[in-house]
Amino acid sequence: MKTESLIVKDRVYTVSELTRLVRLDLEAAFPFVWVEGEISNLRQPTSGHFYFTLKDEGAQLRSVMFRSDASRIQSELKKNNLSPRFELKDGMKVICGGRITVYEKSGEYQLVVEKLEPRGKGALQLAFEQLKAKLQAEGLFDPRYKKKLPLLPKKIGIVTSPTGAAIRDILRIIERRFNRLHIIIYPSLVQGEGAAQNIARGLDYFSRRDDIDVVIVGRGGGSIEDLWAFNEEVVARAIFNCMRTKPVISAVGHEIDFTIADFVADIRASTPSAAAEMVVSREEEFREKIDHLLSRLCQLEKYFLERLRSRINLLAEERIVKNFKFRLLSLNQRVDELDTRAWKAVQARKQSLSEFRNRNQQLKQTLCHQLRLRLNDLQANWQRLSSSLNNLSPLNVIKKGYTICWKAGGLLPVQKASEVEPGEEVIVSFYRGELNCRVNRVDPRVKIESKFIKENQ
């Protein structure tokens, strides 16, 4: 770009005049320029402006980013779901866009930064690494805070979107594996503005409930911007606070996705479906474990009694105890009695478990019947309310011959004559069709009752 200098040869300038002309020349020559460098000597006084030096191996450039430009950069990134959660620090490599000027009081040229972005790593990745390092230093990832999941939770809390695929996958798997669990869903935004605060409120809600055994927080897959709510500090601290009273499972995205929530939570599930499989075992597995333990108990009792019988027989063969033959036979008989009693006890335990299963099945059928009755009552009540609401509908009222008068192009209903002015255009809506009218006269004193009286006289 060709520029013409404002400085005239052979003229004597004051320092202020020359500095001002140099500033004008520089601003004309470099109206906007991109500069890459490393931040050093960063400071931010109470004014909110940022002052720093951009440098490389061979030179350095004084730079300033005014508070208004910093706020605008934040607004632009937030608008694109790239909220600038990274912090400017000494040693950070950045690309700055701005204009070259001269600060006249010190006579130094500087870069007025209007745009700024990290060099090499995106703003979100840099923010992720900075927050991860901060929370790790505070101990939020420490394994000593991690809890194990309960063997069979009775009530599960889930913080996620009530309309997403994640909640459908979780409910489907839990229904298939053990359908007698109580599940409470805290509906929350999982992406976009306000999502992090929404998720944190859900975690705080479950942390205060003593009846919740385990909490699942997460959502389905997406881009780093979609998952960013789970990289917010407010969510990480809410998870850590909830972990003080109950275990928390982080189930965000796909297997390759990692968020700050995964590092803080007690357990990280690769997907929401995997979280559902972690939180509860299949009902058949519990039955198999019970049967296996009962079978093992019988074997151990038989083994113990056989060892006892063998020991008694060996003692009976010893010369020193031959005189106690009849006593040993009595003990042998006692062992047989104990064997029989133990076997009967095991059989009684199996019978009790079978009766317990039957009782559970009866209770399930009773509950389903009660739920169907309740659902029928709710449906009947809904139909009654729907009919009542329909009778109160403005359309039904208009259908009887009434009309609605609108002004402001059909945006505002007119309730009193004093709300319109002579010459103003109004729209009169019938059940079918509309009239575009112009008001000739307005008389707010006339009442509909007196008009009816005159017409009937």
pLDDT in tens, 129-140: 888 889 999 999
Closest CA to 250 of 131, 149, 129, 136: 149
Closest CA to 203 of 161, 237, 165: 237
Average pLDDT for 294-301: 82
Closest CA to 244 of 215, 272, 274, 268: 215
- What's the pLDDT score for residue 212? 92
CA–CA distance, 385 with 388 (Å, rounded to integer): 5
- What's the pLDDT score for residue 235? 94
Closest CA to 161 of 82, 275, 252: 252
What is the rounded average pLDDT for all residues in the chain? 82
Which of 46-50, 194-198, 423-427, 442-446 shows the lowest mean pLDDT across its residues? 442-446
* Residue 407 predicted with pLDDT over 60: yes
- What's the pLDDT score for residue 76? 65
- What's the pLDDT score for residue 10? 66
- What's the pLDDT score for residue 138? 92
- What's the pLDDT score for residue 81? 45
Average pLDDT for 64-92: 71
- What's the pLDDT score for residue 261? 92
Query: Band of the pLDDT at 161, cuts 50, 70, 90?
Result: very high
- Give the full edge-to-edge strand order of the sheet including 412-413: 412-413, 404-407, 425-429, 434-438
The share of the chain scoring above pLDDT 70, in percent, equals 86
* Residue 372 predicted with pLDDT over 50: yes
* Residue 97 predicted with pLDDT over 50: yes
- What's the pLDDT score for residue 393? 75
- Spelled out in words, what is the top-level CATH class assigned to the domain 15-120? mainly beta
CB 259 within 8 A of CB 196: no
Average pLDDT for 412-441: 87
Query: Band of the pLDDT at 322, cuts 50, 70, 90?
Result: low
Which range among 25-34, 78-87, 369-378 has the greatest average pLDDT?
Answer: 369-378
CB contact burial 77-87 (16+ within 10 A = b; e otherwise): beeeebbbbbe
Average pLDDT for 93-114: 88
Query: Band of the pLDDT at 186, cuts 50, 70, 90?
Result: very high
Average pLDDT for 4-15: 72
* Residue 193 predicted with pLDDT over 90: no
Which of 276-290, 300-314, 375-389 shows the lowest mean pLDDT across its residues? 276-290
* Tokens matching residue 288: 């198999």
Using a cut of 0.75, tell me whether the model's pTM lies above it: no
Which range among 113-122, 199-208, 325-334 has the greatest average pLDDT?
Answer: 199-208
Q: What are the φ/ψ torsions at residue 225 (nearest 5 degrees)?
A: -70, -40
Which range among 21-35, 257-271, 386-400 has the greatest average pLDDT?
Answer: 257-271
Of the candidate CATH numbers 3.40.50.10550, 3.30.365.10, 1.50.10.20, 3.40.50.2300, the domain formed by 141-279 belongs to 3.40.50.10550
The share of the chain scoring above pLDDT 90, in percent, equals 22
Higher pLDDT, 111 or 352: 111
- What's the pLDDT score for residue 82? 46
